[in-house]
Structure 1
Amino acid sequence: MLTAPVRTMILMVRHAEVHNPKDIVYGRLPGFGLSPRGEIQAERVARFLSARNADVIYTSPLLRARQTASVIAGQSNTATVRRSKSLIEVLTGYQGSPNSILVGGFSFYTPVKREGDESMDDVLRRMTNFLSLVIKRHAGEEVIAVSHADPIAILRLGLEGKPLTVENLHSVVYPERVSINQIVLGPDHVPQLTYFDVVRSMETAA
């Protein structure tokens, strides 16, 4: 289990809504920036996070995540933006397929589409490596990280100590767009996990 020498907070943010007129599984395909609604979502999470004292923002290298991170950084007085391949979307041969395949118990992981596709263990390993990097570079700080739904959900499963199964992935609190999974690491062996659905909470408060 990951520990940090001092209290360290990581705010894992899912990117905002994507412009996807062909309604496909975009995965790691190039392009696919934010939709107009996604731009509004990014502004909302940026306002939500503006009161935090984040020291740095890490982002997946994919466009939708970079655009979300840029909006967040625009409302931060101190945070700089860095890219991390560890935060990237799941590698799957299903990318480019119509979203209509995402029904019932569909999974990118069992069976995989092609040789070289990532398993859930692969995803957890790189996401955990990212947390280890944060502990090494930013112990005692507050870090924002913009990533993607499955990597964030798989990381949460791992931190909760649950088996990496498709059933558990479907039952975990699955991250909505621009939602935040707050992870607090410290000297003890129990990470503190809190989930914020930013858009819904703002709509409720309005």
Structure 2
Amino acid sequence: MMTSSEKAPVTVHLMRHGEVHNPQRIVYGRLPGYHLSEAGQRMVRLSAEEFKRRADAGANIVHLVCSPLTRTQESAAPIEELLGLTAVHDERVIEADNYFEGLHVTKDELLKHPAHWPHLLNPLRPSWGEPYRQQMTRMVEAIKDAARTAYEKGGAGAEAIIVSHQLPIWMARTSVEGGLLPHDPRKRQTNLASITSLHFDDIFSPGTPRLTYTEPAAELYSGVIQLPGS
């Protein structure tokens, strides 16, 4: 049992999935059946190997969570293999809902169809999908739960990994850094298979975690497909 003077430091890593095979450049969102490309599989292997390197150096990584979508399950698989963990599926870390899911979206295509126009009126919410604040709330709750579970399993200094998606991870980062929810998607620092780490000094006390960001798969980014809603 902890005493009042003890702290419960925990780290939660938010890993984005790897590149998805999507030659038609569809906004695939929550659609089933979208698998990692060959490059995407190499990306997540590099990130898993980075976690294994940290574990071999003493990191106590004890808990793994992933979105239930195919691409995040496939991205969690090499972590399961190398660290001996079993991924727990959590709907709260799923991709954001998006009206344009299943479409090949270009500016001309959007303007050509009046049915799309009402979904373009309010980028601050945004009007085309799940509100930013709702995404932030569910991600923060999932992160807190993952942190508590890691502490229960591994004690002080334990670490958890959540494999999620570009926009939900960015919303979680925005909650830490106090940034504006509306933003330019091209400026999100959540590259494929990247690791956004939240370092909590004490998960049972108020306080803003320290944030670090790494890209173990950066060598593979040239020429890959990067789309919002991915």
Smaller-chain TM-score range? 0.7 to 0.9
Could you tell me how far 1:166 is from its partner in structure 2? 2.3
Segments of 5+ residues of structure 2 without an aligned counterpart are 1-6, 108-119, 222-230
Q: Which residue of 2 aligns with 1:6?
A: 8
Aligned pair in 2 of structure 1 residues 181, 201: CA closer, same or farther (>3 Å)? Answer: farther
Matches within 5 A, 1:12-161: 12-51=14-53, 52=55, 53-77=60-84, 79-101=85-107, 110-113=125-128, 117-139=129-151, 140=156, 141-161=158-178
Aligned pair in 2 of structure 1 residues 186, 128: CA closer, same or farther (>3 Å)? Answer: same
**CA distance in 2: counterparts of 1:99 and 1:47, whole angstroms:** 35
Scaled by the length of structure 2, the TM-score of the pair is: 0.75
- Which stretch shifts more, 146-155 or 132-141? 132-141
Q: Report which of the two structures shows the higher radius of gyration computed on alpha carbons.
A: 2
Aligned pair in 2 of structure 1 residues 157, 170: CA closer, same or farther (>3 Å)? Answer: farther
Q: Is the 8 A contact 2:9 2:200 kept in 1?
A: yes
Aligned pair in 2 of structure 1 residues 7, 151: CA closer, same or farther (>3 Å)? Answer: same
Scaled by the length of structure 1, the TM-score of the pair is: 0.83
> How many residues are matched?
191
Q: How much is the aligned-residue C-alpha RMSD, in angstroms?
A: 2.5
Q: Secondary structure at the match of 1:9?
A: strand
**CA distance in 2: counterparts of 1:109 and 1:21, whole angstroms:** 30
Segments of 5+ residues of structure 1 without an aligned counterpart are none
Amino acid in the other structure paired with 1:179: S
Amino acid in the other structure paired with 1:146: V
Does 2:214 correspond to 1:196? yes
Q: Is the 8 A contact 1:92 1:112 kept in 2?
A: no
Q: Identity of paired residues, percent?
A: 27
- Which stretch shifts more, 129-138 or 55-64? 129-138
Q: Secondary structure at the match of 1:25?
A: coil
**CA distance in 1: counterparts of 2:69 and 2:124, whole angstroms:** 21
Amino acid in the other structure paired with 1:194: T
- Which stretch shifts more, 19-28 or 137-146? 137-146
